[in-house]
């Protein structure tokens, strides 16, 4: 199999995935989506570094190179072109687009009948201010999140309409979600790692503040994941269409869980510290299974 590993940063994850693929008999070619080019006039206009004669059978995507809106659009276009050519891409560009856009994630989760904190998305500050005036107040905040964002960056607690930033500061999209406080006062939520449709590992994330991401100082703790949490995470992954993902959950205060976010390019260094499951190996195995399933069988001649 011709296998590509698309990664630009995060040496720990990159090394783990490469080693896992090699241990399973693959020889991955490491490349960056930023180095893929399009050149017409030849047999194949898409030029992927390390694959001069044919496109890869599969690409395992760890990161999408950062850049401008135009650059990101081109890189997603490259992934779409790979899928159209028959290349298996994990995660698919459709899944990435759905999960990176928090509004679309919330829409899909709700349409699937899964429980999530009340969520409101507006383009106008006036509409957002009316919502905040009606639904929030001192001690009853609404969380404002960047539509495109990760690792807890840019989150704000909004209690009054005056707390809302200008439209330009939020790129003219107000993504607002009801803040779910724990009755015990702890700042704690949960991460479930789903691969091939199955919840394979989970952890508690506990912080000294309300943002619990490990990247922001949250502490990963072992968790005996309840079946209800595993099932909810699996259904959330299916609703968004991700092949491997980190699903963030929060307790609802009534013994159940709510879906907070679906991550299409999850980090798992914190989770790996508190689980015996080899996350990279599970991802690599699932990815190679998908590549094999998508490839037509080769005909072997019985004539010697």
Could you give all domains of the chain from N- to C-terminal order, each with its CATH number?
3-90+290-294 (3.40.50.20), 119-178 (3.30.1490), 183-266 (3.30.470.20)
Q: Report pLDDT digits (tens) over 83-124.
A: 999 999 999 999 999 998 999 999 999 999 999 999 999 999
Residue whose tokens read 């609703």: 239
Token pair listed for 238: 């299916």
Pairing assessment for the beta strands 142-145 and 156-158 based on DSSP bridges? antiparallel
Please enumerate in sequence order all residues whose Cβ is within 8 A of that of 22, keeping only pairs 6 or more positions apart, or say none. 28
* DSSP H or E stretch at residue 217: none
Enter the pTM of the model. 0.90
Residue whose tokens read 């200008």: 166
Token pair listed for 289: 């299974």
- How far apart (Å, rounded) are the C-alpha atoms in residues 110 and 116? 7
- How far apart (Å, rounded) are the C-alpha atoms in residues 102 and 117? 13
* DSSP H or E stretch at residue 183: none
Q: Report pLDDT digits (tens) over 218-264.
A: 789 999 999 999 999 999 999 999 999 999 999 988 889 999 999 99
């Amino acid at each position: 199999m011709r296998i590509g590993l698309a990664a630009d940063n995060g040496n720990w994850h990159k090394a783990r995935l490469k080693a896992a693929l090699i241990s399973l008999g693959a020889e991955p070619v490491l490349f960056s989506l930023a180095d893929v080019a399009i050149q017409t006039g030849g047999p194949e206009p898409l030029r992927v570094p390390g694959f001069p004669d044919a496109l890869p059978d599969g690409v395992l995507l760890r990161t999408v190179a950062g850049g401008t809106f135009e650059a990101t659009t081109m890189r997603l276009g490259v992934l779409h072109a790979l899928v159209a050519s028959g290349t298996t891409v994990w995660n698919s560009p459709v899944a990435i687009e759905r999960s990176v856009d928090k509004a679309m994630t919330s829409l899909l989760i709700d349409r699937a009948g899964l429980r999530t904190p009340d969520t409101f998305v507006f383009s106008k500050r006036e509409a957002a201010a009316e919502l905040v005036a009606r639904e929030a107040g001192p001690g009853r905040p609404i969380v404002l999140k960047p539509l495109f964002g990760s690792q807890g960056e840019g989150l704000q607690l909004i209690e009054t309409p005056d707390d809302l930033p200008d439209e330009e500061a939020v790129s003219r999209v107000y993504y607002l979600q009801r803040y779910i406080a724990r009755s015990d006062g702890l700042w704690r939520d949960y991460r479930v790692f789903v691969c091939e449709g199955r919840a394979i590992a989970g952890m508690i994330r506990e912080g000294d503040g309300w943002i619990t991401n490990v990247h922001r100082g949250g502490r990963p703790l072992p968790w005996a994941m309840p079946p209800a949490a595993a099932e909810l995470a699996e259904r959330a992954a299916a609703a968004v269409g991700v092949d491997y993902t980190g699903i963030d959950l929060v307790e609802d205060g009534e013994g159940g869980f709510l879906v907070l976010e679906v991550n299409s390019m999850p980090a798992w260094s914190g989770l790996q510290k508190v689980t015996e499951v080899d996350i990279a190996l599970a991802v690599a195995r699932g990815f190679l299974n998908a590549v094999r399933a998508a490839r037509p069988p080769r005909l072997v001649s019985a004539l010697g």
